[in-house]
Chains A and B, each alone.
Chain A
Amino acid sequence: MKTISELRAAFLALTYTPTQAVEDSLKIIAKKNGELNAFLDVYDDAKEAAAVATSLYAKGGDLPPLLGIPVAIKHNIMNKGKRVTAASKILENYTATYDATIIRRLRDAGAIFVGATNMDEFAMGSSTENSAFGVTKNPLDITRVPGGSSGGSAAAVAMGAVPVAIGTDTGGSIRQPASYCGLVGYKPTYGAVSRYGLIAMGSSLDQAGPMTNTVADAELVHNVMAGLDSFDATTIAPDTYPVLSEKTTYTFGVPRDFMKKGVDPDVLQTFEKHIELLRAQGHIVVDIDLPLFEKGLAAYYIVMPAEVSSNLARYDGIRYGYSAEGENLLEVYQKSRAQGFGAEVKRRILLGTHVLSSGYYDAYYGKAELVRRKMRSELKDVFKTIDIILTPTAPTPAFKIGEQKDLLSMYSQDVFTVPVNLTGVPAITFPMGTVNREGIDLPVGVQYIAPLGGDARLFSIGKKIYDERL
């Protein structure tokens, strides 16, 4: 069973139990994970939680919405008593001392955590090739990457082990792997979901969200995780942004100029077909101008490394994590960080140190924040005339492991997704079709972007356009 709603119905009908679901989930992991490397840890105590859930279904009554549902979580989310590494050598033996708010909420809703998934180190990457614990392979074609940084979470769902995995998205890390693995991926409005207990990467950009097989499942899991949290002062209230009315038909805007360069022709063709589908269903699709969005990737590679260099200063080999021998305190810092961090993490810390350093701060960080501000007002204007922005999720289908050697071409994977994080708006991706590579049909995703607080609109239109056609 691939969806939460199917599992829930079977649990309630007592034709299938959480114990069976978790056993089946663990069987699939045991069978496939050796090859795919989607999971870094599998939790044996899942069976005990499943037994409790099974007895609750047998008793009946008012049962929480995710009771008995097997869930996988990314390796950068605090889960008390469990190893949480961010796929970095520097946290290889770190055990979480508290629960993230989203973990607490999922557990309260009855979810059962069956394991934690591989990722690019500290969520920095678009392929999971930056994991300190080996690449994850795409279950649809094992010569290809699953995308990243939440590549292990995407593979966990795509391999059939779980109906939902939790990822985090700083510049596209939920949406791009969802696109590569044929899934629904959701990046909420900034502040909709608490960041308490996520290993921080870019604090003004990070959000956690679900990766699922249907939009309805993504909505259900998002709603469980979302809401004000006294442990995260950036979480928003239901009335922080104006409530958007639901419509029967929407006006979609396509930033054509933005898609002229670097998008695979087959992806573009699939995208055009999606536009035809929307028109056939009575929606209006128009071209829009978002000139500043083209600067998004450049602004992102200033803001994100700046926040990375600050957030990762805490890994110093003193209080927790990997610690190297040194003659004095400074050497302990320098050697622990040299030996504990991988190449991409070092690169971004140094880049962030550069853009924040005296004499460069205004030229880089100040300008990047200015671009963000201008992008937000550009968006506000565009959303006066349209309801939803439409782009491909990623410019290509899943690429081959080891294929992307050039840094900037790897970074350009996120060209359509980073403007969403920079401006804080919500976005959903789901499959819009496939493109054929070497005889294999590889899925490609479409991205819908709504105004701030427009989460419900994305779920509502997503269910109509995707779920109803499954």
Chain B
Amino acid sequence: MKREDVAHLATLARIELSEAELTRLEEELSSIVSYVSAITDIAGDEADTAPQLGARFNVFRADEVTNQADEYTEDLLAELPQREGRYMKVKKILGGE
């Protein structure tokens, strides 16, 4: 794994990394990836690699409202880093230019 690969992963994962972190992670991730590669030689046909269902699956519950109106609203709004009344404030999505 190269430095630019780590930088690309960081972009995908939405984590800003310092130069020092990039240097360290290049080495660390390479060693972990080479360790986990021990399983890439295990044989199996394609059907075997499909994600498995758990012991129970397609478990549904009734599509019903289970809480009172506003029961949790204020608690949830109180967690917002920035709010205005009942609204969440966020930064602009597009750049300045």
- Which residues of A are in contact with B by a Cβ distance under 8 Å? 94-95, 97-98, 190-191, 204, 230, 233-237, 240-241, 295, 298-299, 301-302, 309, 313, 316-323, 326-335, 337-338, 341, 343, 346-347, 349-351, 353-355, 357, 362-364, 366-374, 407-408, 424, 452
13 contacts between A and B (CB under 8 A): A95-B79, A234-B54, A234-B55, A298-B38, A317-B81, A318-B88, A321-B81, A329-B90, A331-B16, A343-B21, A349-B15, A350-B13, A357-B12
Chain A residues whose C-beta falls within 8 Å of the C-beta of B51 in the assembled complex:
369
User: Is B75 close to A, CB under 8 A?
Assistant: yes
Decide if B16 touches A335 in the complex (CB within 8 Å).
yes
- Which residues of B are in contact with A by a Cβ distance under 8 Å? 1, 5-6, 9-10, 12-17, 21, 25, 28-29, 31-33, 35-40, 42, 44, 48-52, 54-56, 59-61, 72, 75-76, 78-82, 88, 90-96
Majority DSSP secondary structure for residues of B touching A? loop
Decide if B72 touches A97 in the complex (CB within 8 Å).
yes
Give 5 nearest A-B pairs by CB, closest first: A323-B81, A320-B79, A366-B49, A233-B59, A338-B16
Decide if B6 touches A350 in the complex (CB within 8 Å).
yes
Decide if B31 touches A408 in the complex (CB within 8 Å).
yes
Most buried by B among A230, A362, A370, A373: A370
Roughly how many angstroms separate A326 CA and B29 CA in the complex, as a whole number?
A: 28
Decide if B56 touches A374 in the complex (CB within 8 Å).
no
Decide if A331 touches B91 in the complex (CB within 8 Å).
yes
Sample of 11 further A-B pairs with CB below 8 A, known A230-B61, A318-B90, A371-B42: A97-B79, A191-B54, A299-B36, A317-B81, A329-B93, A334-B16, A337-B15, A346-B25, A354-B9, A367-B49, A370-B49
Task: Give the residue name and chain of the B residue nearest to A234 (CB).
Answer: B54
Chain A residues whose C-beta falls within 8 Å of the C-beta of B39 in the assembled complex:
295, 298-299, 302, 367-368, 371
> Contact partner of B28 among A190, A191, A407, CB < 8 A?
A407
- A301-B35 contact in complex given A338-B15, A374-B44, C-beta closer than 8 Å: yes
Chain B residues whose C-beta falls within 8 Å of the C-beta of A299 in the assembled complex:
36, 39
Decide if B55 touches A369 in the complex (CB within 8 Å).
no
Chain A residues whose C-beta falls within 8 Å of the C-beta of B31 in the assembled complex:
407-408
Decide if A301 touches B36 in the complex (CB within 8 Å).
yes
- A349-B49 contact in complex given A301-B32, A370-B44, C-beta closer than 8 Å: no
Roughly how many angstroms separate A374 CA and B14 CA in the complex, as a whole number?
A: 34
Roughly how many angstroms separate A145 CA and B49 CA in the complex, as a whole number?
A: 38
Roughly how many angstroms separate A349 CA and B29 CA in the complex, as a whole number?
A: 11
Roughly how many angstroms separate A191 CA and B53 CA in the complex, as a whole number?
A: 13
> Contact partner of A374 among B29, B42, B78, B79, CB < 8 A?
B42
